[in-house]
Amino acid sequence: MNIRFFITGIGTGVGKTVVSAILVKCFQSDYWKPVQAGDLDDSDSMKVFDLVGKGHKIHPECFRLKYPASPHQSAAMQGVKIQLSEFKIPSTTRSLVIEGAGGLFVPLNQCEFMIDLIQHLEAPVVLVIRDYLGCINHTLLSLEALINRHIEIAFVVFNGEFVADTKAIILKCLPKGTLHIELPEISRLTPTVIAEISNTLKIN
């Protein structure tokens, strides 16, 4: 059965690309990053390709923006306007992992945000969480936004080590029936490590 996930996070730098690579391996999926802003010589698509190998299709981005900034700002600096109508799900016979940029309210243009792209693509969300000061607040706000928009939450990912009390509060506040994954802290990022984690992945 082919499935589709949209990987988003509670903020920037929480590990969406690593999680995407693990899920690509786990579900034998294709990968698609709709918008890349900055790091065009070392993009997230390139990183995922390096981590999962040649057996997975990496679909080209809709927008490749030069400047490492919010997509709306980077696009404006290039004289480009991002419009939701330009985003089309890549044609594939396999499952698809879609990776967003930043969190849910990263702007794509002056009035539309990443959460609007999720609704446009009609993809269930995988919410990536990492432990830092403020992560409970950011997690609960993200969950509230997804629930208010009636967006399906496929599962949440606890990425790395967590303080027990922090994890307990988040688990208690997850919508009833929401599944979760717990990933270890990864000190050395290699294709072998990604494959080993994907092979032992458990969705609870």
- The answer to whether 14 is annotated as binding is yes
- The answer to whether 103 is annotated as binding is no
- The answer to whether 18 is annotated as binding is yes
Question: What is residue 12's DSSP assignment?
Answer: T
- The answer to whether 44 is annotated as binding is yes
- The answer to whether 11 is annotated as binding is no
Q: Choose the catalytic residue: 25, 33, 54, 202.
A: 33
Annotated active-site residue 33? The verdict is yes
- The answer to whether 8 is annotated as binding is no
CA distances from 50 to 53, 61, 76, 79, 189 (A): 6, 17, 30, 31, 10
> What b/e readout covers 130-156, taking b as 16+ CB neighbours within 10 angstroms?
bbeeebbebbeebbeebeeeebebbbb
Provide the CA 136 distance to its chain's centre, in angstroms: 18
Question: Which residues are the active-site residues?
Answer: 33
List residues forming the annotated binding site.
Answer: 13-18, 44, 99-102
List residues forming the annotated binding site for ATP.
Answer: 13-18, 44, 99-102
